[in-house]
């Protein structure tokens, strides 16, 4: 039963947002968040972690949302590091829900209501994930994902919106727009401190589903727009030189070996060594696109 039914319950949603030097993009995101927040359905509390943006992002966020709590970094946090600090701050007040929000997401007006419907009980064990649409192509850009049921346990397939009234379950998720109830974050905790940028969201979802019996539900329709990260000028771009691809792969936004191998050891099963080292061999081969998650 929905614990909100018949009691006038108004859940508190702590929104955690990490930013770096994308002032206009961040403001557009937060304006869409405010448009999506129905005063009759939830109370928002914004925790904003700004990683030393030189473009005035931190000041602009406070101008838009004066009551936002801010944590200021020194430029070395990256996404996972910033989100880890924000989540720790959010957990201190034990909100009913924590909403992960990427600063390049534009929410649809129904987004928050739909996520709360997918995960109706703050003490429950259901993570609600918003399917994202790429505004340029109209295709699904980010969503929940399913892991292969073979030995390749860390190869994932995105879940397309079903466009029906029924939600779909997954194994983990992209962290662009994710609603986590108190019943989950008190079990699972925060982001693993090993991860600086990527992989932290996939790791969190896998820990939740495989170790704690949590359900991941993805919305049956798009709940926002978020452009897909481009493969060009990344370590997966075969047109770049080997030196350039290797440097990008070793960077915090690439596939840093310590973090990637840790991810595979945690979630790859008995044959984790194969996917742990495969991308580094693939990048050495011309015209091959290394594997990874994203």
CA distances for 58 relative to 1, 13, 62, 77, angstroms: 40, 21, 7, 15
Average pLDDT over residues 67-81: 98
Mean pLDDT lowest among 6-20, 67-81, 135-149, 195-209: 6-20
Average pLDDT over residues 155-181: 94
Model confidence over 81-109: pLDDT tens digits? 999 999 999 999 999 999 999 999 999 99
Q: How confident is the model at residue 6 (pLDDT cuts 50, 70, 90)?
A: very low
**Average pLDDT score over the chain:** 93
User: In the prediction, which pLDDT does 164 show?
Assistant: 78
Model confidence over 31-46: pLDDT tens digits? 999 999 976 789 999 9
Stronger pLDDT, 254 or 287, i.e. the higher one: 254
Helices (H), the chain: 23-36, 57-64, 78-92, 111-118, 182-188, 200-212, 242-250, 257-267, 273-282
CA distances for 230 relative to 37, 133, 141, 177, 236, angstroms: 30, 14, 11, 19, 10
CA distances for 2 relative to 58, 84, 99, 112, 269, angstroms: 37, 29, 19, 16, 36
User: In the prediction, which pLDDT does 215 show?
Assistant: 98
Q: Is the pLDDT of residue 244 over 50?
A: yes
User: In the prediction, which pLDDT does 95 show?
Assistant: 99
* pTM recorded for the entire structure: 0.93
Instruction: Give kind and range of the element (H or E) at residue 129.
Output: strand 126-133
> CA-to-CA distance for 141 and 175, rounded, in angstroms?
12
Instruction: Catalogue all structural domains in the chain, each as residue range(s) with its CATH number.
Output: 12-225 (3.90.550.10), 230-294 (no CATH)
User: In the prediction, which pLDDT does 292 show?
Assistant: 66
């Amino acid at each position: 039963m929905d614990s909100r039914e018949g009691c006038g319950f108004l859940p508190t949603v702590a929104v955690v947002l990490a930013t770096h030097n994308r002032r206009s993009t961040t403001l557009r995101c937060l304006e869409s968040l405010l448009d999506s927040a129905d005063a009759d359905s939830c109370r928002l509390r914004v925790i904003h972690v700004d990683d030393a943006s030189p473009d005035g992002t931190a000041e602009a966020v406070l101008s838009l949302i004066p009551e936002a709590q801010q944590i200021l970094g020194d430029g070395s946090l990256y996404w996972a590091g910033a989100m880890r600090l924000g989540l720790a701050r959010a957990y201190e007040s034990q909100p009913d829900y924590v909403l992960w929000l990427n600063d390049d997401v534009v929410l649809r007006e129904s987004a928050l209501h739909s996520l709360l419907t997918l995960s109706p009980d703050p003490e429950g064990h259901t993570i609600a994930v918003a399917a994202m649409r790429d505004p340029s192509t109209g295709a699904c850009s980010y969503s929940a994902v399913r892991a292969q049921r073979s030995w390749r346990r860390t190869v994932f397939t995105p879940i397309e919106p079903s466009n029906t009234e029924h939600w779909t379950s997954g194994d983990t998720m992209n962290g662009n727009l994710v609603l986590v109830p108190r019943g989950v974050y008190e079990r699972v905790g925060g982001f693993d401190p090993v991860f600086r940028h990527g992989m932290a969201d996939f790791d969190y979802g896998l820990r939740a589903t495989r170790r704690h019996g949590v359900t991941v539900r993805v919305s049956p329709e798009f709940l926002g727009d978020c452009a897909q990260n481009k493969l060009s000028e990344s370590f997966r771009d075969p047109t770049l030189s080997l030196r350039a691809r290797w440097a990008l792969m070793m960077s915090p936004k690439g596939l840093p070996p310590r973090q990637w191998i840790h991810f595979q050891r945690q979630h790859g099963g008995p044959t984790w060594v194969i996917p742990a080292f495969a991308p580094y061999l693939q990048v050495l081969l011309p015209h091959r696109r290394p594997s990874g998650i994203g």
